[in-house]
Amino acid sequence: MKVKEIIEKTIKEVFNTESFSVDRPSEESRCDFACNVAMVLSKTVGKNPRELAEEMVEKLKKDKELALVVDLEKIEVAGPGFINFWVRDEYLGKKISGVSGFRVKPGMTESEIEIGDSDWMKGKKVLVEYSSPNIAKRFSVGHLRSTIIGQALFNLYKASGASLTNDNHLGDWGTQFGMIIAAVEEENLDISKMSVGELEELYVRFNTRISDNPDLKEKAREAFLRLEQGDANARKIWQLAIDVSMKEFNEIYKKLGVSFENMYGESVYEQMMLEIIEDLKRKGIATEGERGAYIIKFEKNGKEYMPPAMLVKSDGSTTYMTRDMATIQKRLTEKKLNADLYIYEVGSEQKLHFRQVFETARMLWPNETKDVRFVHVAHGLLTLPEGKMSTRKGNTIKLEDLIAKAGDEARDFVKSEDVDAEKMAINAIKYNELRRSPELNYVFRWEEALAMEGNSAPYINYAYVRAKKIVEKLETEKTQTLKILFEGEERDLARLLMRFAEGEIVEDAAKNFAPHLVAGYLFEVAKKFNAFYDHNKVLGDSREKERLVLVNAVAEGIKKGMKLLGIEVVEKM
């Protein structure tokens, strides 16, 4: 059990209550954990919170199980009635020593101990949907957000003990294919010899011409309807567009270290949609609107609580709502996709859409969804200084351009041919995304995306390399069980590392769907370690063994933490 869990268990048993919380204080210098149980119970027992807290402290100081992890002499009352706890020095030393078994011989195999993991989701199944690029459109920095954040969420839930799968919900259906098909037929093009970039430019050109020639919009609509109806030529063009796109997408995923167990395009759900539409009609969930369209209204007691959703257009073509309902049905009914928690990492502009989708699913399949949780992790809008990016306008920053420029910055930063500049560049790009809360909008600035110093992947990676070099200077392997007691700045750094070692950081980040909490923690560790090393000698000091344990834990913690973010540290800088 973790220290926090032992404190909670003890308080529940000693005071026979569950009405309290044990939390980290806002200022770490105050204590390791603080509990509000006295303030919560004071009204019930009719006592002053501080007076009650004093009585509680005396009882807690007699608990033998608590004494194994908490310094009983330092339990104290603070403020209006908080009870403060400090982790026992012996327990802290043991926990940090166990991070990597203190194996510090150059060339040794990496420790297999998975530090930082939690088990709070053990026995649960989770599916994460992310990336979801559109066929025939290049990856831009906008598409990158879902890919990177989604992979980090996948990693966090895997480290939380859940049974994981993922799904890349490819955009291979919709009216944009009507434009591509119409343009290809008009110019009699051979798609198999085109790149994704050329397909995108074809789409942009056709879309631009619509403003001067509105008839082209109807031509594109007719082409997509033919695609839905199974027209041979339309299907051939569509399949070639998918083949060309996936070849390039897979190269990008390989470069980013992202992989998928499932990659279902929207077209997979084509045959399922008719039955779902009929079920929604039959149950009165979908009703006929203007000109033969079908909509879903969201009303309670005669009042609308959410705008209606379009299920089927007036021309009979399907919508995102139709396809996403079919997606949920497939996930609920297929064993490999079935889950207790479904996480959709999709842009914030889709917030209303997913509220409508999840609500409709619960109306249509109440029994199947009663124990299921749907969560939309909405990443904010990424814009350029001149405004919103748009594929239609050809106004995007391409991923390959970003990686190339970041690689140049990395080479200038390290000035060494031994360093994998492309890996450093990709790490910097990933971290720049993950250090922010997902829902935040932000303006893309080259100087931030390419940052090699400050709150950046290279800065944290440098702390890792620095720590690793210190440990590897020892020529002998030390595997004996060491009794470690930290002092002063050592203890402060150890207390910070224990938050990761006990799985606290992983659990908080996963529960809040917030990879940026891991990024922020790693930056804090890197800063604190650099300050510690600047002030304290390690090798040759009288406290060498304690400090080597600490430095080794820093290296192992940073490496695992970066791995959770989908970032593989470089070993040389």
pLDDT per position as a tens digit, 448-499: 767 778 899 999 999 999 999 998 876 544 544 568 899 999 999 999 999 9
Q: Which two tokens stand for residue 112?
A: 């297999």
- The string of pLDDT tens digits covering residues 339-357 is 999 999 999 999 999 999 9
Query: Residue 356: which residues within 8 A CB-CB, separation 6 or more?
Result: 296, 298, 306, 307, 309, 321
pLDDT at 332: 98
- The number of beta carbons lying within 10 Å of the beta carbon of residue 417 is 7
Residue 382 DSSP code? E
**Does residue 463 contact residue 555 with C-beta atoms inside 8 Å?**
no
pTM: 0.91
Residues in a beta bridge with 383: 388, 443
Confirm if 229 and 222 have CB atoms less than 8 A apart: no
What DSSP character marks residue 118?
Answer: -
pLDDT per residue as tens digits for the range 139-166:
877 678 999 999 999 999 999 999 999 9
Model pLDDT, residue 443: 80
Task: Give pLDDT, residue 442.
Answer: 81
DSSP 119: -
Question: Which stretches does DSSP call E strand in 301-340?
Answer: 303-312
In this structure, are residues 490 and 92 in contact, taking their beta carbons and an 8 Å threshold?
A: no
The predicted model gives 205-228 an average pLDDT of: 91
Q: Say what the pLDDT of residue 106 is.
A: 42
pLDDT at residue 188 above 70? yes
**Measured distance CA(165)–CA(507) in Å, rounded:** 19
Q: Which amino acid is at 398?
A: K
Cite the beta strand spans of 15-94 per DSSP E: 22-23, 33-35, 76-78, 82-85
Structural domains in the chain, sorted by start: 3-87 (3.30.1360.70), 169-258 (no CATH)
Instruction: Identify the pLDDT of residue 112.
Output: 39
pLDDT given at position 473: 75
When the pLDDT of each residue in the chain is averaged and rounded to a whole number, the result is: 90
pLDDT tens-place string over residues 355-389 = 999 999 999 999 999 999 999 999 998 776 665 65
- The order of strands in the sheet holding 125-129 is 163-167, 125-129, 341-347, 373-379
DSSP letters spanning 139-203? -BHHHHHHHHHHHHHHHHHHTTT-EEEEE--BB--SHHHHHHHHHHHHHT--GGG--HHHHHHHH
How distant, in Å, are the alpha carbons of 74, 124, 223, 427, 458 from that of 259?
48, 21, 33, 17, 24
Separation between Cα atoms, residue 227 and residue 322, nearest integer Å: 16
Q: How many CB atoms lie within 10 A of CB 353?
A: 16
Residue 394 pLDDT level (bands cut at 50, 70, 90)? low
pLDDT at 527: 97
Look-up: residue for tokens 């839905």?
A: 228
- 290: three-class secondary structure by DSSP: helix
Rounded to 5°, angle at Cα 152 from 150 and 2: 135
